[in-house]
Structure formats: structure tokens, C-alpha cells
Chain A
Amino acid sequence: MATTHQRSLARFMMAPSVGMLLLWMIVPLGMTLWFSFQNYNLLMPGMQKFIGLSNYKYFLSDPGFWTSLINTLEMVAGVLAVSVVGGIIFALLIDQPIFGQGYVRILMIAPFFIMPTVSALVWKNMFMNPVNGLFAQISHALGLQPIDWLAQHPLLSVTLIVSWQWLPFATLILLTSLQSLDREQAEAAEMDGASALARFRYLTLPHMGRAITVVILIETIFLLSVFAEILVTTNGGPGYQTTTLTYLVYSQALLQFDVGGASAGGIVAVVLANIVAIFLMRMIGKTLD
């Protein structure tokens, strides 16, 4: 039985984290919202004034915005497709009785622990470089024309690099879920003559449903703010070809010093992320209880 004394103690214990998160949310977000209605450029001090929705009009009608929105969606969708499909296949494979399963697991998850700046640099220079990159050398050895990955297929290249980092995470989560599958049920189905495909479709896949939802939820949160990989490999280019929403707002703020415009972009990014989040929270809400 919780007494009033215990209640207030509990409140007291929760106060610091609730208070700090509240501040962390309200103060900067409020400021971003305020700036987004201002004509505010750090290169023109003293010219700050209220201009209503002009920043939004300007930001939303900028062709860079639509390109970056589409790039963001393409990259997130691409990485999610690779992680979910690849993750299911790899998890099923590693779940088979194999020699050295523990070591396979450990090597598999490694890319997830590599800091994004390192993986971006290693892929850009040591693999995708058209002159000394390993891919180029393999192409030469096979008598093919090497591909300048980041110049010819920039968005695909970035998606590949990010997929490499997130596929292991999906595999690990799905593998963990697979290992809690009721073996006896699977064996019973096998004895009853269910084909491997039918067992996968009606037994394994529904069992992994929750894990798949979790993978999509967590990865989407992190993928919407992918930044270092783009900064290090392409700087958003060529042109706008690898500019995502996050990168677009960053470049408006810290490269063009357009605080007002970038703030409007930041608010648009928050709104879009929340649309995705509501959708995802509903999805996860359904599987959680």
C-alpha cells in the first residue's frame, strides 16, 4: 500500500528526469518555433524581425526540400528493406545448427558498434574510391570499368553504407526472437507434413512479428537523423543528390547561417518525424500487449 509519504518520495525521485526532459523539449523546441517566424540571418545582425510564415513558404517551395524529403524516404525505406529481408534470411541461417555459432554471432554484430564517421571513411576511401578502392581493384582484375560509386550512384552508396551498419542490428534482434520459438511446435508441424515454406509462413514469421515491428521502429528513429555518413562521404552532393532533411537543415543553419529558414526546416522535420512516430507507436502498441 502506497502511503502519501511514499507517493511524494516517488515524485521527488522522478522530478529531476521529468523536469530535465521537459526543459530539453520545451526550451529549444520553443526557440526553434520562435526563430522560424523571424527573418534572422547571422550574417546580417540587427535585421531580425517577425515575418510570419514566409520562412515556411520559402522552405516548402524550395526544390531542395522536396528532393531531400524524397532522398530521406528512399534512404530509410532502402535500409529498412535490406535490414528486414536480409535480417530474416541471416537470422534463419545463423539459427541453424552450425559450428561456431557464438563466433558467427559476434562477428555479425560488429558493424553496429563502429562509429559512423569511421565506417563512412573506410567505405568511401578503401572500398568505393574509383582509383585505389578495393571495388575498383576487383573491377580492374576482372577487366571491367571501375565504378565511381559516390559520384555515379551517390544515394545508393550512402544507403549501402548505412545498411551495412544496421543489418547486423536487425539480424541480432530477429535471431534472439527466433531462439525463443517453441521447438516442439515446429517439430510437430514438421511431423504433420508441413513444408518448410508453410512452417515459415504460418509459424516462424508470425512469431517474429513483434521483433520485426521493433526493428522497424528503432531503426526508423535512428535513420531519420543519419548525418555523419553523409557529411563525411558526399557533403550532401553532388548537387542535392544525397541531401536528406537532416542534412538540409544543418547546411542552412551552419553553412548559410539562415537561422529563420533552418528553424522552419527543423519544425517541418519534427512534424514529419512525429507523423511517422504516431504511425509506428500505434503499430508497436498493437504488438506489445
Chain B
Amino acid sequence: MSRTVSNRRKWLYTVIAWGVVLIIFFPILWMVITSFKSEGDAIATPPKFLFFHWTLENYHEVQESSNYFSHFLNSVIISLGSTALGLLIAVPAAWAMAFQPAKRTKDILMWMLSTKMMPSVGVLIPIYILFQKFGLLDNRVGVLVVLMLMNLPIIVWMLYTYFREIPAGILEAARMDGAGLWNEIRYVLTPMAVPGIASTMLLNIILAWNEAFWTLNLTTSAAAPLSAFIASYSSPEGLFYAKLSAASTMAIAPILIMGWFSQKQLVRGLTFGAVK
């Protein structure tokens, strides 16, 4: 039996839901619109919503006057690098825990999660001092490793929950059919594991790209990714709304799009499969 909903009620809920969602989304929309204004239009009273001279000038200027591209490159290297390194270390571990569970596996998983409960500020000083001693301050590799370690528990947990859903029986069946180890990996395991690994990867790129505590504290200029670079706009001389908006839009666009693609996996990933 299906629920009959009057058209009027559906329209009413549609209007309310869209109203609420547009209010929530408005700051982002406003930022994107402002990025196409001239500085004068950006602070005009009353505010101009759509009827102004649209221009790409801010995007050009942000790219030319600052090292936007080098910060973008830092973001790419740090987020992709820490994710790749994290996966390299976490995939075997999650695999072993999912298919060779021992008595202590659950304890190890809980312990890993507990390292995530440690506030970063508790280890800021030693990391800072160690980095200073080893010349790793404002160094991409240093930040990359710290972010990898920060997100490692989440990577292991996510992969573990995905791998556990691969039925062990399928491996036995393949073995019975005479598949060798290589064929087993290639034709049976890889196709089943890849979607889980892919969503773990996406989510970790997002987390690493947006991370601000460590990037702000461990980088200054040469290795500063976009999250740290944008913060430099808070100085008084950086207060040009249109340019600020253009730089911000360029900083969030790739990750926003990636986020939209992975929103379903995000729920599974960040809740460790507890909510489906």
C-alpha cells in the first residue's frame, strides 16, 4: 500500500525545504557571485545580487599577484601524498584484520580509534620542536607525514568495514575452481575491494585538503597549502572582498565537487558503517 500524498502538501514541503537549503547554501553562493564582481561592486550599498558587470579580473589577479598556483600545487601534493602513503600502510593492515581476525583485532581497532581522540594541541610542541631540529618546518614532506598519521586510524577503520563485507566464501570458491593466487587477487579480490579503497581515498583527500591546524602551524610560505594561504587574507591589506572570494572559490571548488560525488560514502566512512 502506498502512501498517498496530496500535491498541495508536496509543494508546501518543497518550498520550505528549498527555502531552508538556500539559506544554508547562501554564503557559498554569495562568495562565488562576489568573485565575479569588481571591488567597487563587491562592497556596494545596497548589495548587488545579479545585475552588475561580471568580470574574471579577480581570478587573473589572484593568480598573478600571489603564488596561488604554487599553493595549489602544495595542496595537491600534501593531500594526495598523505592519502597515498596512508593507503599503502593501511590496506595490508585492514586486509589482515578483516580476513585473519585474531582475538585482539577488536582491541587494536578500538585503540587506533582512541589515538584519534588525542587533541592535536597535546602534541603540537614536540612535533614543532622536532620539525625545527630536523629542518622540516615549512616542508611539504613533513606536513604530508603528519596528516597521514592524523588520518591513519580513519583510513584503517574505513577499509576494515569495507573489506569485512567481502564474503570469505567467494575466495574459497575461487580456490576450489583452481584459481592461482595471482588470478585470485586480480579477478576476485581487486574488483571487490576497489570501490571501498576509492571512497576511502576520496574522503581522505577531502580531510587532508581542508586540514588547517597543522598546515597553519607547520608551514609559512614555501610549503603552505591553500588552507594556510587563504588565512593570509585575514591581514588588513588583504581585505579585498572580490579577490578574497576568487581565491576562496578556487580553493574550495575541486574539493566541493569531489565531496558532492562522495557524499554517500562519507556517511559510511565517517560513521564507520554504524549508520547505513
Contacts and interface: CB of A to CB of B under 8 A. Distances in A.
Among B21, B252, B263, residue most surrounded by chain A Cβ atoms (within 10 Å): B21
B267 interface: yes
A53 interface: no
B127 interface: yes
Among A116, A121, A225, residue most surrounded by chain B Cβ atoms (within 10 Å): A121
Given A21-B152, A114-B256, A250-B217, A173 B275 contact: yes
A218 B270 contact: yes
Interface stretch (A57-65, A73-81, A125-133, A195-203): A125-133
Task: Give the interface size bracket for B toward A.
Answer: 35 or more
Contact of A228 (B11, B30, B213, B241): B213
Contact of A10 (B96, B206, B230): B96
Nearest to A180: B276
Contacts of A269: 119, 121-122
Contact of B21 (A31, A104, A273, A281): A104
B136 interface: no
B100 A10 contact: yes
B188 interface: no
B242 to A, nearest CB: 10
Contact of A21 (B34, B149, B216): B149
B274 interface: yes
Given A105-B263, A121-B244, A214 B271 contact: yes
A143 B48 CA distance: 19
A117 interface: yes
B17 to A, nearest CB: 5
A47 B119 CA distance: 29
Nearest to B43: A132
A125 B244 contact: yes
B263 A118 contact: no
Nearest to B92: A13
Interface of B: 1, 3, 5, 10-11, 13-14, 16-18, 20-22, 24-25, 27-28, 30-31, 34, 43, 45-47, 89-90, 92-93, 95-97, 100, 102, 108, 110, 112, 114-130, 149, 152-153, 156, 206, 209-210, 212-213, 216-217, 226-228, 230-231, 233-234, 239, 241, 244-245, 248, 251-252, 255-256, 258-260, 263, 266-267, 270-271, 274-276
Interface of A: 2, 6-7, 9-11, 13-14, 16-18, 20-21, 24-25, 27-29, 31-32, 35, 90, 93-94, 96-100, 104-127, 132, 134, 137, 140-141, 164, 167-169, 172-173, 176-177, 180, 183, 187, 210-211, 214, 218, 221, 224-225, 227-228, 231-232, 245-246, 249-250, 253-254, 259, 262-263, 265-267, 269-270, 273-274, 277, 281, 284, 287-288
Given A13-B95, A134-B47, A269-B121, 6 more contacts: A10-B102, A20-B89, A99-B11, A109-B260, A126-B30, A274-B117
12 contacts: A13-B96, A28-B123, A31-B130, A32-B126, A100-B14, A112-B259, A113-B206, A115-B209, A118-B252, A123-B27, A126-B30, A250-B217
